[in-house]
């Protein structure tokens, strides 16, 4: 069967079966090897309402790890979720970031900077993205190091 001149990757029956099993568009798209938007369009055409996103973790799990002192990135790693999803849910729960939201100190950054490491290398050593290092480096008034000085 073709649709707008393209061969269909899946049948309506396949989509309905997965939908009835409780899978959402993203999960169905992964199982059928189709783009999520393709699944969404076909689901709507079939008159099926969207299933919500499945939660990767419960509020209780997040709260317990937060109370143990873990930051968003560490909580995300433990729960198999992106740290931005953790940050969003933590905020909705009215919880403040552990450690003031800082994953490393200015002193740690300065020491590595003075050793001649570039932002990417500093980020690798501190466990953060290089853009995070760049923002903090600029805030400290430090010029970027273009090439490794060692």
Instruction: Give Rg (Cα) of the chain.
Output: 23
pLDDT at 5: 55
Boundary residue ending a domain (86, 101, 116): 101
Q: Whose CA is closest to 56, among 87, 27, 31, 79?
A: 79
pLDDT tens-digit series, residues 32-63: 999 989 999 999 999 999 887 666 788 999 99
Q: Whose CA is closest to 107, among 129, 128, 127, 122?
A: 122
Q: What percent of the chain has pLDDT over 70?
A: 87
- Evaluate whether residue 37 is within a structural domain: yes
Number of domains in the chain: 3
More confident residue, 69 or 95: 95
pLDDT at res. 2:
47
Asked if 36 and 24 count as a contact pair (C-beta separation under 8 A), the reply is no
Span 98-111, pLDDT tens digits: 764 556 788 999 99
Q: What is the CATH number of the domain that holds 38?
A: 1.10.10
DSSP state of 94: T
pLDDT at 54: 66
Give the burial string for 72-100 (b: 16+ CB within 10 Å, else e): bbbbbeebebebebbbebbeeeeeeebee
Domain that holds residue 88: 59-101
Say yes or no: 87 and 116 in one domain.
Answer: no
Q: What value does the mean pLDDT take over residues 63-67?
A: 89
């Amino acid at each position: 069967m073709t649709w707008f001149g393209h061969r269909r990757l899946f049948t309506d029956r396949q989509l309905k079966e997965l939908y009835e099993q409780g899978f959402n568009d993203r999960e169905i798209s992964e199982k059928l090897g189709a783009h999520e938007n393709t699944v969404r369009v076909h689901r709507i055409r079939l008159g099926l309402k969207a299933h919500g996103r499945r939660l990767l973790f419960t509020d209780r799990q997040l709260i317990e790890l937060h109370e143990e002192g873990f930051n968003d990135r560490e909580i995300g790693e433990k729960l198999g979720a992106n740290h931005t999803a953790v940050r969003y849910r933590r905020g909705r729960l009215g919880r403040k970031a552990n450690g003031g939201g800082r994953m490393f100190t200015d002193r740690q950054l300065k020491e590595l900077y003075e050793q001649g490491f570039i932002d990417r290398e500093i980020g690798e050593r501190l466990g953060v993205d290089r853009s995070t290092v760049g923002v903090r480096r600029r805030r400290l008034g430090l010029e970027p190091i273009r090439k490794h000085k060692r």
